[in-house]
Amino acid sequence: MIEWLERQLPKIVLAPSFFAVLVFVYGFIVWTGWVSLTRSRLLPKYDIVGTIQYDRLFVSPRWDTAMFNLAVFGALFIIISMLLGLLLAILLDQRIRTEGVIRTIYLYPMALSMIVTGTAWKWILNPGLGIEAMVKGWGFENFSFRWLVDPDMAIYTVVIAGVWQASGFVMALFLAGLRSVDEEIIKAAQIDGIPTWRIYSAIIIPSMAPIFLSAFIVLAHLAIKAFDLVIALTGGGPGYSTDLPATYMYAMAFSRGDIGQAAASAMVMMLVVFAIVVPYLYSELRAKND
């Protein structure tokens, strides 16, 4: 009996969380998928009417803006955070004296909530309060930096704030990666008289591929769930020019009583996530089987 219990114990311990995930993740995905095929308005209804909600979604200019913004924000946020994080890590890796202090300073933004980041940058980027007003105050009357209030540029301010918050964290990841590279190889290269930049580009960085993957996964999920940052920084504005799919879904579900439409947008968001995660899972699983 005890032996049987011992063998079954892992399954018994895991069962509640397995069950919870089954219901609260997969169960509700199915539920959302169902609702997205109905004409639900204020309250969910369950009579399937076909793909009308998706038809509405794909002709909505606001949804186009939201998807375009997700692409712009996601790509720039991930690429710039990684490049900046890598650069900072390499600079910090030069055995400088106050490394501990500097590392902490760069890492601190990650400890802030996105709401705080968004609000602070809202003030910094506001033309009448922040950078523009300051530089004008120094006497450069023609200076203009008003991306925050320009509908075409506002999404880039979200990128700025996001990068500010995340790049320190990426730096810490990369720094750990740099430190884990075998000292012997680097010393051998130095003895051979290879210049430092070549050591980094040909030896150290290629050996950090797993770190790049981790950083990418962390940043990608930050990008897709970036909802609070937009709400605090621009409120989706000017107009709806900085809407993201998540803010679109929120508006439909909670402000407009259009649950069917919100469910359809949530399903499309999930497919976007799948498009990123499935190749990753596939490569992981294949690597294990090999």
Partner 1 sequence: MKFTTYIKASVVASFLVSGAAIAGPEAEVLHWWTSGGEAKSVAVLQQEFADNGGTWTDMPVAGGGGDAAMTALRARVLSGNAPTAVQLKGPAIQEWYEEGVLADISAVAEAQNWAGLLPASIAGHMMCEGTWCAAPVNVHRIDWIWANASVLEANGITMPTTWDEFNAAADKLAAAGITPLAHGGQAWQDATVFEAVALGIGGADFFRKAFVELDEATLTSDTMVAVFDQMRKMRGYVDDNFSGRDWNLATAMVMNGEAGFQIMGDWAKGEFLAAGKVPGEDFLCQSTPGDGFLYNVDSFAMFAVDGDDKQAGQALLAELIMGQNFQKVFNLNKGSIPARIDVSLDEFDICAHISSADMAASNEGGSLLPSYAHGMALRGAQSGAITDVVTAHFNSDMSSADAVAQLAAAVKNSM
256 touching partner 1, by CB under 8 A:
yes
255 touching partner 1, by CB under 8 A:
yes
Stretch that binds partner 1, among 22-30, 221-229, 256-264, 265-273 (CB under 8 A): 256-264
Residue from 99, 102, 110, 126 in contact with partner 1 (CB under 8 A): 126
The answer to whether 68 touches 221, Cβ cutoff 8 Å, is no
In the complex, least distance from residue 58 CB atom to partner 1, rounded to whole angstroms: 10
In the complex, least distance from residue 228 CB atom to partner 1, rounded to whole angstroms: 13
258 touching partner 1, by CB under 8 A:
yes
Taking residues 187 to 226 in sequence order and writing x for each that binds partner 1 by CB under 8 A, - otherwise, the string is ----------------------------------------
CA 105 to chain CA centroid, Å, is 21
Residue from 41, 179, 187, 198 in contact with partner 1 (CB under 8 A): 41
Q: Tell me the number of residues near partner 1 by CB under 8 A.
A: 34
Q: Which residues contact 258 (CB under 8 A, 6 or more apart)?
A: 41, 252
128 touching partner 1, by CB under 8 A:
yes
In the complex, least distance from residue 181 CB atom to partner 1, rounded to whole angstroms: 46
Residue from 19, 28, 108, 254 in contact with partner 1 (CB under 8 A): 254
Smaller CB separation from partner 1, 32 or 60: 60
257 touching partner 1, by CB under 8 A:
yes
Residue from 27, 137, 195, 239 in contact with partner 1 (CB under 8 A): 239
Separation CA 167–CA 262 (nearest Å): 32
Main-chain dihedrals φ then ψ at residue 38, nearest 5 degrees: -115, 180
Q: Which residues contact 131 (CB under 8 A, 6 or more apart)?
A: 124, 125, 145
The answer to whether 76 touches 156, Cβ cutoff 8 Å, is yes
61 touching partner 1, by CB under 8 A:
yes
Enumerate residues 139-158 that contact partner 1 by CB under 8 A.
146, 148-149, 151-152, 154
In the complex, least distance from residue 18 CB atom to partner 1, rounded to whole angstroms: 26
Question: If you write DSSP's letter for every residue of 95-163 in order, what string do you get?
Answer: T-TTHHHHHHHHHGGGGS-HHHHHHHHHHHH-TTTSHHHHHHHTT-TT----GGG-TTTHHHHHHHHHH
Stretch that binds partner 1, among 12-20, 29-37, 39-47, 173-181 (CB under 8 A): 39-47
In the complex, least distance from residue 248 CB atom to partner 1, rounded to whole angstroms: 10
- What does the binding site for partner 1 look like in residue numbers (CB under 8 A)? 41-43, 56, 59-62, 122, 126-129, 146, 148-149, 151-152, 154, 234-241, 251, 254-258, 261
